[in-house]
Amino acid sequence: KTLDADFQEKLLKVVRKRRVAYLTVGHGEINDQPLAGDAAQDRSASILKRQLEAQNYLVKTLGLAQGLGSEIPEDATLVMVLGPTEPFAPEELKTLKGYAARGGKLFIALDPDAVSTTPTLAADSDVAVAPSAKPAPGTKPAPGTKPAPSAKPAPSAKPAPSTKPAPSTKPAPSAKPAPSAGPSEATEVATPTEPSEALGQLNALAEVVGLDLEPGILVNDAPAKHLRLRFNASDNGLLPTNKFSSHASVSTLSRNSARAAIVVNGAGSLVKSPQGTTQVDFAIRSLSGTFADLNRNYQFDPGELRKVYNFAAAVSSSASKAPTKPEPKADPKGKPLKDELLPSEMRAFVI
């Protein structure tokens, strides 16, 4: 049953020079071993490693000890960053940028959900708890939500049991907060906030190849445009799509888009950086009606925008620095021989 696959794997080892794929470690990637306990079942790179090995790739790890903080090893054919949950050091980002500038090949997978600290759905409710929401009855308001003095009756103004209090002095059951801290204003309008530490660390990786990661996770509340798994509002983040560009990386999917689709969960949106000089082809896009959920309640709110978003990008640019490999020798006529192995173009795929 596996004769064809086994034959192809053996044939590739004969006809193709062995290549080396480096997978970064030390930042909580899906291929990284946790410091304590076992890795989560849904965070594993075992299938990817097997596929790379079947294509005659030698898979190695790339951390500070292997040169991630100084220079990518010269034998690297490809560097992969797979769902990091911890930030890269500035020295590591500089190394990746230098590798890309010299014509390196990168695959970067960003997981906004893996590093997000934004509250999501509560266990027994379909309502997300906003950080500035009204406190529950009987709980002390946060320091920033102290009720206005006019809302608290003075001791001498406390009405007698048989006396109906005046409207302006009637105490609220739980000391109603000032209008700015009310739940209606905290949950009705979803507006972009300052980039969090989590978004910033992922965006730093996207900037390596001239992209920006936008705030929020992508959601679609149309019944036909999301999958059902948990049967609550969080299912709105399970998004299928068959919108592929003509880029070579997704050409097979594009040709079979009528019957082929992929599913993403908790995805972010990519855009080209205003300062970016790379050529960008957004290879995978969302279905129409998708929106960036800024407050993580998995529902559409004022301030959020429905449109087509970019799931993945294929990026390329000319190598701006000469490779460190020796110069090719000249032929008898004095013309330099072209070395096909010398990288002349940076290529990256970001999802």
Q: Is residue 291 part of a domain?
A: yes
* Residue 136 pLDDT > 60: no
Angle at 296 between CA 291 and CA 298, to 5 degrees: 55
Helix 3-15 vs helix 46-54: crossing angle, to nearest 10: 60
Whether residues 69 and 162 fall in one domain:
no
In a domain, 186, yes or no: no
Tell me: do 215 and 338 sit in the same domain.
yes
| 92-99, long-range: CB < 8 A, 24+ apart | 92/64, 92/68, 93/204, 93/205, 93/208, 95/67, 95/68, 95/69, 95/70, 95/71, 96/72, 96/205, 96/208, 97/208, 98/71, 98/72, 98/321, 99/71, 99/72
Q: Do 128 and 183 meet the contact criterion of CB atoms below 8 Å apart? A: no
Report the 10 Å Cβ neighbour count for 241. Answer: 23
Is there a domain that residue 191 lies in? Answer: no
| Closest residue by Cα to residue 202 from 328, 114, 298 | 114
**What is the tens place of the pLDDT at every residue in 148-174?**
444 444 444 444 444 454 444 444 444
Task: Please give the residue that has the higher pLDDT: either 288 or 182.
Answer: 288
Q: Are residues 253 and 114 in the same domain?
A: yes
What backbone phi and psi angles, to 5 degrees, belong to 248? Answer: -60, -30
The answer as to whether 192 is a domain residue is no
pLDDT at 204 over 80: yes
Asked which of 87-96, 123-132, 181-190, 222-231 is least confident by mean pLDDT, the reply is: 123-132
Q: Does residue 109 sit in the same domain as residue 152?
A: no
Residue 153, CA atoms < 13 Å, CB-side half-sphere: 16
More confident residue, 219 or 150: 219
User: Which of 9-13, 91-95, 231-235, 323-327 comes out lowest in average pLDDT?
Assistant: 323-327
Q: Write down the pLDDT at residue 36.
A: 66
pLDDT mean over 58-74: 94
Section 217-223 average pLDDT? 96
Which position has the token pair 């905290």?
A: 186
What pLDDT was estimated at residue 15? Answer: 65
- What's the token pair of residue 128? 């997300």
Average of per-residue pLDDT across 188-208: 72
Q: Are residues 208 and 268 in the same domain?
A: yes
Does 236 lie in the same domain as 153?
no
Instruction: Tokens for 338, please give them.
Output: 């072209």
Q: Does the residue 137 lie in any domain?
A: no
Q: Which of 14-18, 105-109, 161-165, 230-234 has the lowest mean pLDDT?
A: 161-165
* Confidence tier at 40 by pLDDT (50, 70, 90): low
Q: Is the Cβ–Cβ distance between 119 and 130 less than 8 Å? A: yes
- Using CB atoms within 10 A of its CB, is residue 56 exposed (0-12), middle (13-18) or buried (19+)? middle
pLDDT at 17: 80
Strands of the chain, DSSP E:
19-24, 57-62, 78-82, 105-109, 211-214, 217-219, 238-241, 243-244, 262-265, 269-272, 279-285, 290-293, 306-307, 310-318, 345-350
pLDDT at position 143 over 80: no
* 72 Rama sector, left if φ>0, alpha if ψ -120 to 50, beta otherwise: beta
Residues 168 and 57 in one domain: no
> Domain range for residue 164?
143-181
In DSSP terms, 211 is beta-bridged to: 272
pLDDT band at 261 (very low <50, low <70, confident <90, very high): very high
Same domain, 89 and 153: no
| Residue 226 binned pLDDT confidence (cut-offs 50, 70, 90) | very high
Q: Does one domain contain both 171 and 212?
A: no
| pLDDT average, residue stretch 193-206 | 76
- Assigned domain for 25 exists: yes
C-alpha to C-alpha distance for 30 and 114, rounded to whole angstroms: 10
The string of pLDDT tens digits covering residues 25-34 is 999 999 987 7
- What letter represents residue 139's amino acid? T
User: Which of 152, 181, 210 corresponds to the end of one domain?
Assistant: 181
- Compute the average pLDDT of residues 322-326: 50
Is 23 part of a structural domain of the chain?
yes
Distance of CA 268 to CAs 99, 123, 295, Å? Answer: 25, 23, 14
Residues 21 and 110 occupy one common structural domain: yes
Please determine, for residue 23, whether its predicted confidence score (pLDDT) is greater than 70: yes
Q: What gap in Å lies between CA 136 and CA 125, rounded to an integer?
A: 15
Average pLDDT, whole number, for the chain?
A: 77
Q: Residue 240 — φ and ψ, nearest 5°?
A: -85, 155
Tokens 């080396």 correspond to 20
Tally the domains of the chain: 2
Task: Tell me what pLDDT residue 39 has.
Answer: 63
**CA–CA dist 267, 350 (Å, integer):** 12
- Sequence-distant (6+) residues with CB within 8 A of 164 are none
- Write down the H helix ranges in the chain: 3-15, 46-54, 90-101, 112-115, 183-187, 197-206, 251-255
Residues 284, 150, single domain; the answer is: no
Mean pLDDT value of segment 85-111? 94
